[in-house]
Amino acid sequence: MSQSGCAGANSMTRLILAADDPTAGALRRGGFADLVVPILHRFVWGPLPSDAGLSAYLAQRTGLQTRGHWLDFASRRDFMVVGGRSHGFLELVDRCDSVELWMGTRPNDQLVLIWLLDYLRSHAEIATKIILRHVDVPLFEVPAGHFAGRTIAGVALAREHLDLGHLAWQAFRAPTPQAWFDLLKQDLSPLPQLRRCVQEMLDELPGAATGIGASELRLLELLSAGYQHPFDLLPHHRERFQRRVYDYWEGGSLLDGLALAPLPAISGLAEWPFSVEMHDSRERRERYKASTLLLTPFGRAILAGEEDFSSQNPIQRWWGGTRLANANLWRWHAVLIAPDLDTAHDIECREECCEPWRPIDWSMREAAYSAACA
């Protein structure tokens, strides 16, 4: 059942769900719906929330719950017409006359999509009223004047979407990347952006020769190309950075990891860690901004494919449900390479290079990001 969505179409209770705040803002300004909700989970970074935690996130807000709810970033003013922002996900979907998923093309957007499809699979009677829009461009990059009358094709959710979402989400949550890799053997066409998401996430596994992922390698490439200051390297320069998995904050953490490792690939970082606290201090932020970075000899060798970052440095990070470590280092080089358990061993890390990534409150992230880019 094909549908079409265009700005100006009206329903008293039309709800749109997006996976990032800029897209939600563009849809709200474009008059696409009465209610637009950005669901701002970052599944590409850090350990995945538990099933119980994700279910609680979508449940009705309790009296003591001030954050950690799916409507935290919805417009207070808009939601006054439906009695506030305490609704559970299924309750609000059931209440609205029409519900649409406008998930973007970036990997995290697609991960949010497959998570919601997995959740809806147990509630098929509600899922069938939802339209999936086939967004094929970043909507926040579309000039405002081009939104009027813009048509985005869509389809009503069917069992094939729910089953594929379930398959993909369970694969991403698995303790190894094998099931995620195996998705490339499946027909992923019901979710047109999913195959690219699978590929781009695999690209972020440590490389077979370098021991670092595609975004870390891109940081080294940009540094080699002459971009010497930290803010010039980060993913908010979308066309320059090219890789689409990680955001500004995650890119800053990757840069920290390359510069603070026991045998660093980058030298010259004058301030760390990359955090809200650093952004809030003008002195620290300016010191960070003025850092003149250089590739170390080790970094140049990694870039040339002659050295392996993981052979000299500790690896401790999450990729979906997989905990990557030196002794459990799944690698990628057009094929998935399982760890060699006979030779693998963990490397002890010093405190400053092993601090786990800390989730940052979204409103704090945006304010600090704006200050840094001013």
Tens digit of pLDDT at every position of the chain (374 positions): 334 444 434 445 899 999 999 999 989 988 899 999 999 999 999 999 999 999 999 999 988 778 899 999 999 999 988 889 999 999 999 999 999 999 999 999 999 999 999 999 999 999 999 999 999 887 766 665 555 556 788 999 999 999 999 999 999 999 999 999 999 999 999 999 999 999 999 999 999 999 999 999 999 999 999 999 999 999 999 999 999 999 999 999 999 999 999 999 999 999 999 999 999 999 999 999 999 999 999 999 999 999 999 999 999 999 999 999 999 999 999 999 999 877 656 676 654 455 445 555 555 555 555 455 55
What is the length of the chain? 374
Residue at token pair 């979204």: 362
Residue 182 CB coordination number (10 Å): 14
Q: What are phi and psi of 71, to 5 degrees?
A: -100, 10
Which of 114, 83, 96 minimizes the C-alpha distance to 36? 96
As given in the structure block, the two tokens for residue 257 are 């990891």
In angstroms, the CA 371 to CA 8 distance is 35
* Cis-peptide into 273, omega within 30 deg: yes
Residue 317 β-bridge partners = 324
- Judged on CB neighbours under 10 Å (0-12, 13-18, 19+), 310 is buried
122: CB partners within 8 A, 6+ apart: none
Residue 283 CB-half CA count within 13 A: 0
**What is the pLDDT at residue 351?**
47
- By the 8 A CB rule, do 194 and 164 touch? yes
User: In this predicted structure, what is the pLDDT of residue 346?
Assistant: 65
* Per-residue model confidence (pLDDT) at position 258: 98
pLDDT value of position 11 = 41
The pair phi, psi for residue 29, each rounded to 5°, is: -65, -30
> Residue 154 in 3-state DSSP?
strand
**Helices and strands (H and E) in the chain: how many:** 19, 12
pLDDT score recorded for residue 294: 98
- Which residue, 65, 70, 128, 134, is CA-closest to 102? 134
Query: In the block, which residue shows the tokens 């700005």?
Result: 7
Per the DSSP assignment, residues forming a β-bridge with 132 are 101, 155
Q: What is the C-alpha to C-alpha distance for residues 201 and 246, in angstroms, rounded to an integer?
A: 10
Residue 26 near residue 139, CB atoms below 8 Å: yes
- The two three-digit tokens of residue 294, written as one number: 């250089």
The answer to whether 235 touches 255, Cβ cutoff 8 Å, is no
231/360 Cα distance (integer angstroms): 19
Strands 294-295 and 266-267: antiparallel
The DSSP symbol for 311 reads H
For the entire predicted model, the pTM comes to 0.91
pLDDT of residue 273: 96
